Amino acid sequence: MLNRQRPRTFTYGQCVASIAGCHSETINIWSHLLGACWFTLDAIRSINAFINSPSPGGIVVIIYLAAFASCFWCSTMYHVLASHAQASFWQQVDHVGILIAIWASVMAFVLFSFEDQRGAQWTYVFLVTFAAILCAFRLTDLQGRHIRQRQSRIALHIVFGGLAVIPSLHSWFQYRGPARPNELLYPFWILVAINSMGGGIYAVRIFNKTGNRMGIPDVSHNIMHVFVVAGAFQYGQSLLRIYQTRILEA
C-alpha cells in the first residue's frame, strides 16, 4: 500500500485529503507532522514560561524551538503537496525550512556561548545570517527534481552546515584545557554528527533498495528524518537545561 503513488493534481484540497490515505508519502507526511506538532507545543510552553519570567536566554530557546517547528511544518507542507502540479515551489519551501533550522541552531550556540564576547557574538550572528540569506536566494535557481538540482541542493546545505560549525571550533579552541568549559559545545557537536549521518544516508540512498523490497519507499529519507528529530530534540533539551541552570544561578 505504501508503494501506491498519488495521482498528479491541480487541487490543493485533494492533496490535503490524501493525508488520511495510505500511499508513498504517508510516512514522510506523518513523521514531519508529528515533529512539527511536538516542537510547536514546546515553543508555546516556552513562550508561556517566558511571559512569567522574561530573560534574554528565554528568547534564544523560543527562537530555536520555533525555527524547528517551522522547519517541520515546511517539510509537512511539501510532502502533503508533493503530488500537486506546483510541487517544485513547495520543495523550495521545504529547503528554506532546513536553512532556518541550521541558522537557529547556530544562533542558539553563538548567543549562549559568546555572551561575554559581544564582538565575536555579533560577528557570527551577522555572518551566519548573511550566509543563510545567500543560500536562500541560491535555492531559487535550484528548482526541480532533476538529479543535478538535487545534488546542488545537498551541496548547498553541506556548505552552509560547514560554515555553521566555525563558531563551535572557535569556542573549542578558546576553552581548551583548564579554561571554563562551554556547556553547549558537545550537544552542538552531537547535533552536527547526527544530522551529518542522517544527511549522508539520505544523499547516497543506502537503504532504499531494502526499503523498496519491504514495501516502504524512500526509506533513507525516513531514516534521515528520525536522525534530524533526535538531534534537534537532544540539542533543544540541552538548551533548556543550560537556560534553567543559569536562571537558578542568577
Residue 146, marked binder: no
Residue 225, marked binder: yes
- Gyration radius from the chain CA atoms: 19
Say which amino acid occupies 124: Y
Please answer whether residues 74 and 17 qualify as being in contact, where contact means their C-beta atoms are separated by less than 8 angstroms: no
Please answer whether residues 85 and 9 qualify as being in contact, where contact means their C-beta atoms are separated by less than 8 angstroms: yes
Please answer whether residues 36 and 98 qualify as being in contact, where contact means their C-beta atoms are separated by less than 8 angstroms: no
The terminus-to-terminus CA distance of the chain in angstroms comes to: 56
Residue 32, marked binder: no
**Residue 7: left if φ>0, alpha if ψ -120 to 50, beta else—which one?**
beta
Query: 157 in helix, strand or coil?
Result: helix
Please answer whether residues 240 and 49 qualify as being in contact, where contact means their C-beta atoms are separated by less than 8 angstroms: no
Q: Which residues are annotated as a binding site for Zn(2+)?
A: 79, 221, 225
Q: Which residues are annotated as a binding site?
A: 79, 221, 225
